[in-house]
Structure 1
Amino acid sequence: MSQRPQAIQARLWSDGEVRYGEVAVDLAAAGADRLFTYAFPPDLDLVPGTWVEVPFHSRKLIGCYIGPAPAPPGVQVRPIAGVVAELPPLPRDLIDLARWVADRYLCTFAAALRLCIPAGARRRRVRERAVAAVALAAPRAEVAAAVEAAERRRAHLQARVLAMLLERPGPVPLAEVAARLGDHARAALRPLLDRGLIRRVTLTARRDPFGGRAAPPDAERSLTPAQREALAAVERALADDNPFSPRRPILIHGVTGSGKTVVYLQAIARVLARGQQAIVLVPEISLTPQTVGRFRARFGDRVAVLHSALSEGERWDEWLRIRRGEVDIVVGARSAVFAPVERLGMIIVDEEHESTYKQETTPPYHAREVAEERCRRAGAVLVLGSATPAVETYWRAERGEIERVVLPERVDGRPLPPVELVDMREELRAFNRSIFSRRLQEALDETLGRGEQAILFLNRRGYHTFVLCRACGEAIACPNCAVALTCHLPGPGQPQPRRLECHYCGHAEPVPSTCPRCGSDKIRYLGAGTERVEAELRELFPRARVLRLDVDTTRRKGAHGEILGAFSRGEADVLIGTQMVAKGLDFGRVTLVGVVLADTTANLPDFRAAERTFQLITQVAGRAGRGDRPGRALVQTYMPDHPAIAAAVRGDIAGFYARELAWRQVQGYPPFADFVRLLFTGPEEGEVALAARAAYQALLPYGKDGAMEVREPGPAPLVRLRGQWRYHLLLRGPDRQAMVAAVRAALVGRRLPGKGVRMSVDVGPYTIL
């Protein structure tokens, strides 16, 4: 703390002069969504965004100073307890952006502010790392003479320490001294300290997420005509400084392998030339090393990275570099949209269609929407990139709200991979019970025989997707969730042959020998996940080198990068994965992509099921043929006539979007209407249903004028998760903010019936599961 609490209070009451300020206190309670007034001395220089410690009831909490406030009449105002010196103030634009997030997504202002600073720093669990070091204390000429004297005395270690310090312009960490000269070099420091030749100092050491690795240089590539057109659109937007004509977002709609990243690099170079900064959002942590590598190769150490896989210390150090203006480019997942850059010139949202840009927990923001608002406020350019844009983005481009630039071909004249559909019903008729069709087995054999690589995609984890009792029909379910348990192979050192695991709450148990419901031993394993794909592939091709990329193989920090790096170096022949392998990865030796089952998302009870299916198939097929050799993709399905699957196989992008938009218009789904979802959770189903019904009754009057539809509450599709029952109700209407206002007026701050029930609000939900 830079100011001690006792000193602040003494100055307040002895001087008799008091100033007042509004503080957003870090509270979780929705009912406390307001600013609180505190007193502070007039000579205490607080700028908006300063973090302070304040008394709140019997606790001391952290808060963000927002600005001055008038003296409250007739109220004894408590003084702040101190200034949190280790936290730099938030920029004013982030405070204003947090207000917008709170209003748009119906969360508290404090919850929105939390998005703007790493949690470890806000909770004061992490600080800058201090390391012990030594530096020269005497003039350099005197030290040089001391080196010669030490050599004459045969004090060689002392001479080497001094010579090392003479080589460096500043202090040297003790760990580096020991690493270069050996641990015994520390013994040589004492006589040098006693003679005043050197001194001990403390340095701030950066926790480098890149591990000190330098990026290899990147050769600048010539642009195709389509890429030049895309870059020209960005340059026109950057040059348009008319404050009365807001810049339209730019959609780079390029087929897979069309070189969108090259356009990004060139566009950011233009931004940096203007003295501005850029943020690049990627949808998956697994993509971050690859993307960061491209940007660091071009722009060096002026690139920072922000994502949840960093340690708290690494994340804090990167945030501080950004806040201090030491970087020009920030690359990260959705939370990086709140990076504290102050000279924002551009935000790029790569693979803008991905669901991971939508946060499911409070605040339920969408990074693409926040990026657009932040660019609007800063006068910056928003660039969206995708081969399969979100339906809402495509519709806005059709209406002219977004400028669309098409990259219709791959770079270097490479052809798009032909996509072949395999009807798995025919495989069953031919008595092929394998998850690999005969055609996919042949293709894999040919690919491996030529020394090329393959990617196999299945968007399910585990070995079997569920375990069924054939006597009573019961699927063995999680005791905490209303979902079937997934069968997994044993982990290292586990004696049991298989285990059942819940992918929602983490519950695990051995596979029972008899049915828990009826006691029958007629247990059957059904369905397939990535573990089964790996096991069957190893049986079919025992000499193939296989890697698997899914949640189970990437729990350890750095595992994403290790697996992808090994595959990129050619240390494996086949990469098996879930949706992680469908997003933006670029491997030049991959000539075959196999979609093991395209049906996994098509039948979900969700209005985005067709869109998600089309995007996944198109994206994963696009991983093939990105190098010198042509590629191909095989799509296995039991539903060859499904419109989304058929359109993806044909490569009919325009036809898919036209059909999907027509269907959504008839059904009243986004972009023609919007949703607000209220979710009620609690340990007792009856209490949850009671709360949901009370909320419905409170909201009904707001739907009487036809401005919105208030749907009857009912069980959520996933009715029980982590021991909590789940009911929901949906509001649907053309005006999202009108629905938000209705929920705020009817329910925020109101106590609903139902013991132990919590309500959460998802504005613009990506899914209604």
Structure 2
Amino acid sequence: MFAQIVLNEFSRNTEKVFTYKIPENMKNLEIGMRVSVPINKSIVEGYIIKITNYSEIPDNKLKYIINVLDDYSIFDEKMLKLAFWMKDYYNCFLSESLQCIIPTGIKKGEKKVKKVKLKKEFLSKIKEDFPSRQLEILNFLSNKDSIYLSDLIRNLNVSYSSVYSLYKKGFIDIFYEEVDRFNVGEYARTKKLAPTKEQEYVISKVKDSIERGLFDKYLLFGVTGSGKTEVYLQLIEKCIDMGKDAIVLVPEISLTPQTIERFISRFGNLVAVLHSGLSRGERFDEWRRIKKGEVKVAVGVRNAIFAPFSNIGLIIIDEEHENTYKQSDFRPKYNVKEVAEKRCEIEKAVLLLGSATPQIESFYRALKNEYKLLRLKDRIGIELPRVEVVNMSKELAEGNNSIFSRRLYKEIKLNLIKGEQTILFLNRRGYSSFVSCRDCGYVPKCPNCDISLTYHAFEGKLKCHYCGYNTDMVSICPKCKSKRIRYLGIGTERIEKDIKKLFPKSKVLRMDVDTTKTKGSHEKIFYEFKKGNADILIGTQMISKGFDIPNVTLVGVILADVTLNIPDFRSGERTFQLLTQVAGRAGRGTKPGRVIIQTYEDDNYSILAAKNQDYEKFYKEEIHYREIFKYPPFTHLMNIVIYGDIKNDVIDNAARLYNIIYKTINKSNKKGYNKILGPSSAPIERIKNNYRWQIIVKSSDRGILLDVANVLNTLKIQKNIKISFDLDPISII
């Protein structure tokens, strides 16, 4: 017997499949098992992808598998098929796509603890002439089934030797038991609600596809507060009734507290949770629960798409427009929507994408009937909030130098009087965007990146949000020795300080990267606000979705222009989505909601459409621009970044690479629109002491971009230069 194995090594040299002999004592091997094998003079980890009775390689040239690392397979043939598809579609190594499937924390394994129990057959033999400590232990265990050894020692204040002596005499058993490291907590159980007519129609359409075992793709376009979550819950219940499994994806960890509560309160211990806020061991425990068939629903962020269910009926991607569904940091740079679509195709399952502000490409596909479009047009029980746009240029001209417009100030004050809650949104953390000397114009910059340092007042530090560099705040200009230092730009920390100054009796919470570094911090802040222990919540995009708090009646957007002026073709779309989503946090109970958007560009089409909460009007304008400038969905993009520590080397290699790409495209027989932009310096030219130049390739044929990717993967370049590329990037910054 022979096993074909992919090594857990990411390089061209180890990308091929290796064949090993299976020892006689390993006849129960399966596809997906993790093994250790010899290669050259090393022992490495690998994954079995095929077991055969025949090998074309002579037997005397093959080595044996050394060890089996687990007593279960990590992936089955369907997941292996998905990994092969990812390898081809994202142009990565098979070992890299398999690594997405391998559970985080597997090397920690399951957690086992020692337990103790009395052997019942010796219950009648407990005598008073036992040593006093041993007698105390036996009497304590006589009315218990079992107990953790650590609890026994702590409760009775006895030594391990006293317990162990009873074990040696045969009176007690000491054994290991597997325990879960993660506990989601208890929630009051809820029952399904009576659906509205709109909800009932949506549920019936998707249910029909689930019952018939069809591979169908739906886009659920529902305004904020229209009851999308209840639709999800009732469809999952249908899956469970049919003996099928469901995966629910949410875009980021800050969404999970309320999401987890909703799903566990409906389905109890049939729900597993997978997100980066858990430790590696906790994530592995949840993965094992899914693998063993103990749960029917997985709720999590991006990598939960690889949950090891064997009978999937439904995959839901909530807030499908979010950028976090794209893996951009390392290979494979996959889009979870594409992976979910392929997994549903393999599993014959239903894919349901949901959003109040669908991604432009998704809505385009729905209008082209590639997705089946379902709509929820009405909020349940209450109207959409009233939205007002305030021009901050006029405020300034009329003498208001505050970061709060007079209108927003008045509404915050009114809310405090009425005992209602307020959310203030600004998608920029810190106190000031940068600091500057009034006399000479000096601005402190990061020594590693071409970016000004952001001032964080609470810590008294200047920080780089790209490489993590930080230094003490300057009080004297190092260039001209002036003490006239000014703070320019605003962040969430500045908002918090000013609110406390204007409304000293108000209770304020802040949710951003700086306040949510510790484990469980998202949940703590969320529940503090939900319980009414704070009047005002200030935050970044973390608070723009998933917060369903009835007493929030006012939302203030401090500066809508932050995302609007980013040099990216998606900036208008991102602005509209953020404004619409954060506006949807207001008025979700019985009280009407108000939203005030502060901006310097009140005539911009994104802001006007957000004011009117008119997605389709925004879509018509945006899709027009996309078609003119040949951006997705009319073309595919490839973002190529050339970087290194010597600027001239980076520029030279960027020019060389342009010529190679140009020749590759011209050699292709595929026709259509093709355009190469660059090479040019990236918007932030230097990050972490690496100079960055950029080439963007547009093509109406994704196959041409794959041809370019193949060339890049085999290209030999000088040692101090690196190249990274992203197919269909979510951003080109």
TM-score, normalisation: structure 2: 0.94
Matches within 5 A, 1:150-169: 157-158=136-137, 160-165=139-144, 168=145
Mapped to 1, the partners of 2:213 and 2:168 lie a distance apart of 62
Structure 1 partner of 2:624: 662
Q: Please, which of 170, 173, 178 is the counterpart of residue 196 of structure 1?
A: 170
For residues 454-487 of structure 1, the C-alpha deviation after alignment (integer angstroms, 9 at most, x for no partner) is 1000000000011123444443211111111100
- Indicate yes or no: 2:726 matched with 1:766: no
Who is 1:174 aligned against?
149
Q: 362-371 or 262-271, which moves further after superposition?
A: 362-371
- Aligned match of 1:539: 501
Distance 1:185 1:53, change over 3 A: closer
Aligned counterparts, 1:129-168, within 5 A:
129-139=111-121, 143=123, 145=124, 157-158=136-137, 160-165=139-144, 168=145
Show the counterpart of 1:5.
none
CA RMSD of superposed structures (Å): 2.3
- Show the counterpart of 1:9: none
Tell me the secondary structure at the aligned position of residue 63 of structure 1: strand
* Larger CA deviation: 641-650 vs 316-325: 316-325
Alpha-carbon distance between aligned partners in 1 of 2:178 and 2:273, rounded to the nearest angstrom: 19
- After alignment, is 439-448 or 728-737 more displaced? 728-737
Q: 1:8: which partner in 2?
A: none
**Are the counterparts in 1 of residues 665 and 708 from structure 2 also a CA contact under 8 Å?**
no
Q: Distance in 2 between matches of 1:259 and 1:147?
A: 63
The CA deviation at 1:178 is 5.4
* Pairing 1:316-335 to 2, within 5 Å after superposition: 316-335=284-303
Residue 695 of structure 2 aligns with an amino acid whose one-letter code is L
- The Cα of 1:160 is off from its aligned counterpart by 4.8
Counterpart pick for 1:299 among 258, 263, 267? 267
Conservation of the 8 A alpha-carbon contact between 1:387 and 1:619: yes
**Whole-Å Cα distance in 1 between the matches of residues 419 and 158 of structure 2?**
52
Aligned to 1:219: 191
Of residues 8, 14, 37, the one that matches 1:54 is 37
Counterpart in the other structure of 1:4:
none
CA distance in 1, matches of 2:517, 2:79: 32
Offset of residue 606 of structure 1: 0.3
Deviations for 1:353-410, whole angstroms, at most 9, x for unmatched residues? 0001111122111111111111111001111111101001111111111111111111
Give, in whole Å, the separation in 2 of the partners of 1:700 and 1:335. 36
Asked whether 1:258 is paired with 2:226, we answer yes
Does residue 689 (structure 1) correspond to residue 637 (structure 2)? The answer is no
- CA deviation after TM superposition for structure 1 residue 291, in Å: 1.0
Aligned AA for 1:643? Answer: Y
Q: Distance in 2 between matches of 1:508 and 1:292?
A: 36
Q: Does 1:749 align with 2:714?
A: yes
* Equivalent position to 2:97, from 112, 127, 144: 112
Distance in 2 separating the partners of 1:86 and 1:464: 54
Q: Write the distance in 2 (CA, Å) between the matches of 1:643 and 1:404.
A: 25
CA distance in 2, matches of 1:297, 1:656: 37
Question: In structure 2, what residue type is equivalent to 1:98?
Answer: A
CA distance in 2 between counterparts of 1:471 and 1:755 reads 44
Farther off after superposition, 468-477 or 424-433 = 468-477
Task: Give the Cα separation in 2 of the matches to 1:195 and 1:464.
Answer: 70
Cα separation, 1, equivalents of 2:600 and 2:486: 21
- Tell me which amino acid in the other structure corresponds to 2:497: A
**Alpha-carbon separation, structure 1, partners of 2:580 and 2:405:** 20
Aligned runs of 1:339-418 on 2, under 5 Å?
339-361=307-329, 362-411=331-380, 413-418=381-386
**1:716-735 mapped onto 2 (5 Å cutoff):** 716-735=682-701
Cα pair 2:31 2:73 within 8 Å, conserved: no
Find the aligned partners of 1:464 and 1:150 in 2 and give their Cα distance: 76
Deviation at 1:232, TM superposition (A): 0.8
**What is the alpha-carbon distance in structure 2 between the residues aligned to residue 177 and residue 164 of structure 1?**
13
The CA deviation string for residues 248-306 of structure 1, in whole angstroms up to 9 with x for no partner, is 31111111111111111100000111111111100010111211111111111111111
Partner-residue secondary structure (3-state), 1:747: helix
Q: C-alpha offsets along residues 188-224 of structure 1, whole Å, 9 cap, x if unaligned?
A: 74675466342111111111242xx222211321111
Secondary structure at 1:617 match in 2: helix
Moved more, 591-600 or 192-201: 192-201
Matched to 1:164, the amino acid is N
Contact conserved, 1:485 with 1:500, CA < 8 A, in 2? Answer: yes
Deviation at 1:148, TM superposition (A): 10
1:36 CA drift (Å): 2.4
Pick aligned residue for 1:96 from 67, 72, 81: 81
1:467 to 435, 444, 460: 435
Gaps of at least 5 residues in structure 1 are 1-18, 492-497
Q: Contact conserved, 1:248 with 1:401, CA < 8 A, in 2?
A: no
**1:490-529 maps to which residues of 2 (within 5 A)?**
490-491=458-459, 498-517=460-479, 520-529=482-491
Note if contact 1:487-1:500 (Cα within 8 Å) is conserved in structure 2.
yes
Determine if contact 2:509/2:525 at 8 Å carries over to the other structure. Answer: yes
Q: Secondary structure at the match of 2:519?
A: coil
The change in CA–CA distance for 1:23 and 1:399 in structure 2 (over 3 A counts) is: same
Contact in 2 for aligned 1:549/1:560 (Cα 8 Å): yes
1:314 matched to 2:282? The reply is yes
Query: 2:156 and 2:392 mapped to 1: Cα distance?
Result: 65
Structure 2 Cα separation of the partners of residues 162 and 146 of structure 1:
14
Does the CA contact (< 8 Å) of 1:469 and 1:524 recur in 2? yes
Shift of 1:177: 3.9
Are 2:10 and 1:28 equivalent residues in the alignment? Answer: yes
- Structure 1 residues 147 and 597, CA gap change in structure 2 (3 angstroms): farther
Helix, strand or coil: the match of 2:120? Answer: coil
Correspondence for 2:21? 39
Q: Tell me which residue corresponds to 1:569.
A: 531
Residues in 1 aligned to 2:143 and 2:631: alpha-carbon distance in whole angstroms: 68
Encode CA deviations 1:36-86: one digit per residue, 9 max, x unaligned: 233333663332211111223333211111114633269833333222126
1:579–1:154 distance in 2 versus 1, CA, 3 Å: closer
Q: CA offsets, 1:568-605, max 9 Å, x none?
A: 11111111000000022111110111001111000111
- 8 Å CA contact 2:455–2:461 kept in 1: the answer is yes
- Whole-Å separation in 2 of the counterparts to 1:157 and 1:633: 67
Deviation at 1:225, TM superposition (A): 1.0
| TM-fit CA distance, 1:159 | 6.2
Q: What is the Cα deviation at residue 521 of structure 1?
A: 4.5
Q: Report the TM-score, using the length of structure 1 for normalisation.
A: 0.90
Q: Greater shift after overlay, 421-430 or 19-28?
A: 19-28
Does residue 703 of structure 2 align to residue 737 of structure 1? yes
CA distance in 2, matches of 1:36, 1:155: 57
Q: Secondary structure at the match of 2:370?
A: coil
> Alpha carbons of 1:383 and 1:400: their partners in 2 closer, same or farther (altered >3 Å)?
same
Do structure 1's residue 714 and structure 2's residue 680 form an aligned pair? Answer: yes
Distance in 2 between residues matched to 1:595 and 1:128, nearest whole Å: 46
